[in-house]
A and B are shown apart, each in its own frame.
Chain A
Amino acid sequence: MNWWNELLANPAISEKLPEATLETLGMVAFASFWTALVGLPLGLVLHATGKGGTRPVPVLYVVLSALVNIGRAIPFIILIILLIPVTRAVVGTPLGWQAAVLPLAVGAVPFYARLVETSAREVAPGKIEAALMVGASRLRMTGGVIVREALPSLIAGFTVTVIALVGYSAMAGAVGGGGLGFLAITYGYQRFDASVMFAAVIVILAIVFLIQFLGDRAARLVDHR
């Protein structure tokens, strides 16, 4: 267990790694929360206003769709920099993991909204008609039928999004957000301490595997098909 003692003797690992892990988890958790909160309704609005939706509004759809495409097209690292003034205005500072939550959410919302739209489109139109035929309003039908019927797929999409957020969080870390990505880059790339980098990568891997495992479990739990 010599190598293990050696790892623990490295303060970057014994002190900074747990801290960085918490920062990453914080960034991802809060950004995921906001992504679900905004991305889910946005995706449902895209579905409803699009061609063949329950309330087609071509103009609104085209505008929202364009915004979503732009949001997804801008490389994330550039998005963070573009958003610095906004982050400073909203959070008070562009630095720290709390500040990174904003650009992370802004980057993930369009991604998840598109996945939500696709999931909603997979709900058979007949089920939607069946709900409308018993007198359900569009809003109640959307919650009670589209979201419920698409839930396994919505959860799977959310899992993909959260994992993407873990990746994004490493980039956010590189520009002052802290977290595991920041740790791996400063020690591994700038100080040539490969063991810290490997340790950070292993923790990131563990986080990703855990998210995927939980996501699969949750999706299976609500899937009655």
Chain B
Amino acid sequence: MITLQDLRKVYQTRSGEVVALDGISLEIPQGQIHGIVGQSGAGKSTLIRCLTALERPTTGSVIVDGAEVSALSEALLRQARRRIGMVFQHVNLFEARTAAANIAYPLAIAGVPRAQRAIRVQELLDLVGLGDRGDAYPAQLSGGQKQRVGIARALATEPAVLLCDEPTSALDSTTTRQILRLIRDVRDRLGITVVIITHETSVVREVCDAATLLADGRIVESGPLADVVTRPGSPLSQALVPVPDVGVGDQRALVQVSAGGAQAQIAHALHAIATEPDAHVVAGSIETLGGVRVGRWHLDVADGDRVAVLSRLRAAGLAIEDDAA
């Protein structure tokens, strides 16, 4: 549904060239919710602006729903954009229009007759759970309600792709969860492909099927969550299932181990750790990501016993992620 081929974006600034995207190749299949994570400055925003053709890539191509948006003329691009819905961090609703009029705007642009517009707007308001707030102006809506209207507006022209740029970063945690649930619900009902740009790994944990980690304009790691979390040493997995850092005493070492797969494998790993006489858990977490159970622990091990302890744990099926010593 979305194909990026060797995408590069270079900005010319007074102090020289800035490479925002450095050879991004990515394939996102239809119906997937794909998270793109990374620190600020990693290139996430540039990437989404290239997907919408608000920015043209320096080289490489962007193909969305069969159209190479990076090469379209202005008129064709306007057509293609109707197949791409966009949800913004700051929602960007038109404040001079009611919620219903905001949702009707893309329909008016697409030339949908007025009578049909009204029907579609009500369907969309119902879809996002705001069936009775159509007459409200954005100023009269809460942050979560505004983002619901933003999602409805993005879905108005029945796009094949929904691009979300930090859709929940301005919302509290409860509202975030509701909005993410709505996005997943929309995908399940409409079979739409969703890309979520975010700096919050919790968003990926909550809603994504697959994820890509960006750093310095490059893809560090990418794949379905089920694959990523069971990949030993995976930086994306470490970002998704973080374990707090803890201090340990002299002559002690902090070792990070992980296990992933079915519940039985987690149980086995827990047993191995619990029965290991020369190591104890100082921090850890177990989660379900992409339908896979994944556990990550920080172990406090005596320096002298490290090699023996680690080989026993490895034999029990645990991956040694980060051997601090």
Contact = CB atoms under 8 A, between A and B. Distances in A.
A132 interface: yes
A88 to B, nearest CB: 44
Nearest to B140: A224
A225 B105 contact: no
Interface stretch (B83-91, B186-194, B224-232): B83-91
25 contacts: A126-B88, A126-B92, A127-B92, A127-B93, A127-B94, A130-B88, A130-B93, A131-B105, A132-B81, A133-B84, A133-B86, A134-B106, A134-B153, A135-B79, A135-B157, A136-B78, A137-B78, A140-B109, A145-B94, A148-B94, A148-B96, A149-B95, A224-B95, A224-B96, A225-B95
A131 B139 CA distance: 19
A194 interface: no
Contact of B78 (A130, A135, A145, A149): A135
Contacts of A224: 95-96, 137-139
B54 A134 contact: no
Contacts of B109: 131, 134-136, 140
Given A127-B93, A137-B78, A222-B96, 14 more contacts: A124-B92, A127-B92, A130-B92, A131-B94, A134-B82, A135-B82, A135-B109, A135-B157, A136-B109, A144-B105, A145-B94, A224-B137, A225-B95, A225-B139
Nearest to B74: A137
Number of chain A interface residues as a range? 20 to 34
Contacts of A222: 96
B67 to A, nearest CB: 12
Interface in A97-114: none
Contacts of A140: 109
Number of chain B interface residues as a range? 20 to 34
Q: Is the interface of B mostly helix, strand, loop or mixed?
A: loop
B94 A126 contact: no
A129 interface: yes
Given A135-B78, A225-B139, A129 B96 contact: no
B105 A134 contact: yes
A180 interface: no
B220 interface: no
A151 interface: yes
A136 B82 CA distance: 9
A82 B86 CA distance: 53
Contacts of B97: 148
B198 interface: no
Contact of B156 (A126, A129, A134): A134
A144 B109 CA distance: 10
A126 B84 CA distance: 16
A148 B111 CA distance: 20
B239 interface: no
